Structure 1
């Protein structure tokens, strides 16, 4: 694949991630397939485009910027375990600050859980994933890939904050954000069984990623 082809895939990736979530377009799509249908369709599209982008980076012209060191992989393993736990603990939980919150009417700012630490846990996980993978992938194509995705995740936080502030109103957003900031960082879990289940799922996903990495990505993670 040429650099032009890689740039084209990158452009399509951002196009498919930005256009469907524009309020006017999202409302029309949601009216046809419903909120759950939109979430499922957008998730499938996002994963598919991410897989295509990673595949393209692996086939772009190779230009090494730094060599891989043994500790790079160990750092990625530890960081990816944390990343998987963040995603497992946060997904499907109420989070009025995030684009992916569920049952937001049930959110308790006095017991915000992981939202107290990360207003946007999924974006934090994406930034961690991309930033960590910069270490062992020191060729230009992958540096562009993971560097841009990390920046995309970091910039997305401000974008979603503005959108949520506009939807909720300045007063309500500021009041809710201040209430969460004043809550304890660690509180007693509403359900220890659910927390334990989510941790097990996070560890299981991490193990699955290690095992499937050579088959899905084409390179062993070990």
Structure 2
């Protein structure tokens, strides 16, 4: 069991690795070296690795119970996580000059924005939902701090990215791109992405017990 000091040190590492690489000066240099796709892949791998570090630290921190677990709480997490998988599958690799992680942003069309018409920052929305869904069945202090921090990070991150994008794009261009249309259009690519989301969801369910140590379907 680790102490609270090591737990909060893992948080410091998380926030540093999620703030420094996306600063415009640092990101532009990394993109020059790695390329846009290489940067996205490296940043995603770094994010997953540091996230795993914080989760392990939370599980090893001193236990302080705040509320009791009940079976219905797992159903909330299972439902929310399916939405997380769908949002991530529909967002990754899509043009999105309004947030981070977009690909081929010059092809973005506000009139046919797809998911971006409903949420400018889908990956941050997915992170917020992941945090909210996992906090419900984890009523101990270390995990509540963990998920509240991640949820807050996602919400404040949206505002920070909006300000940064306005500064980079200019208010006029940002307003033009942000004037998106809310549409629900069924496409072949979209159906494939949803099928991938279902497969990833099933994979997460099967690996959650062996990797995390908690069976979500119990």
* TM-score, structure 2 as length reference: 0.95
Equivalent-residue separation in structure 2 for 1:156 and 1:209 (angstroms): 26
Match of 1:96 in 2: 97
Match of 1:61 in 2: 62
Per the TM alignment, residue 188 of structure 1 is displaced from its structure 2 partner at its CA by 3.1
Residues 1:138 and 1:187: Cα distance change in structure 2 (over 3 Å)? closer
Residues 14-60 of structure 1: per-residue CA shift (max 9 Å, x gap): 11111111222222223322222222211111110000100000000
Match of 1:78 in 2: 79
Contact 1:95 / 1:101 at 8 angstroms: preserved in 2?
yes
Per the TM alignment, residue 3 of structure 1 is displaced from its structure 2 partner at its CA by 0.4
Equivalent-residue separation in structure 2 for 1:30 and 1:83 (angstroms): 27
Match of 2:165 in 1: 164
Within 5 Å, give how 1:84-163 maps onto structure 2.
Answer: 84-163=85-164
Contact 1:213 / 1:220 at 8 angstroms: preserved in 2?
yes
The match for 2:216 among 200, 216, 221 is 221
Match of 2:7 in 1: 6
The match for 1:196 among 169, 191, 196 is 191
Equivalent-residue separation in structure 2 for 1:217 and 1:70 (angstroms): 18
Equivalent-residue separation in structure 2 for 1:113 and 1:147 (angstroms): 29
Residues 126-148 of structure 1: per-residue CA shift (max 9 Å, x gap): 00000111100000000000110
Runs ≥4 in structure 1, deviation > 3 angstroms? none
Alignment of 1:176 with 2:171, yes or no, is no
Equivalent-residue separation in structure 2 for 1:65 and 1:151 (angstroms): 20
Equivalent-residue separation in structure 2 for 1:35 and 1:91 (angstroms): 13
Q: How many residues align?
A: 216
Gaps of 5+ in 1: none
Contact 1:111 / 1:187 at 8 angstroms: preserved in 2?
no
Per the TM alignment, residue 114 of structure 1 is displaced from its structure 2 partner at its CA by 0.8
Equivalent-residue separation in structure 2 for 1:53 and 1:174 (angstroms): 36
Equivalent-residue separation in structure 2 for 1:150 and 1:92 (angstroms): 23
Contact 2:208 / 2:215 at 8 angstroms: preserved in 1?
yes
SS at match of 2:69: coil
Equivalent-residue separation in structure 2 for 1:62 and 1:11 (angstroms): 21
Match of 1:24 in 2: 25
Q: CA RMSD in A?
A: 1.2
> Once structures 1 and 2 are overlaid, which stretch shifts more, 20-29 or 148-157?
20-29
Gaps of 5+ in 2: none
SS at match of 1:13: helix
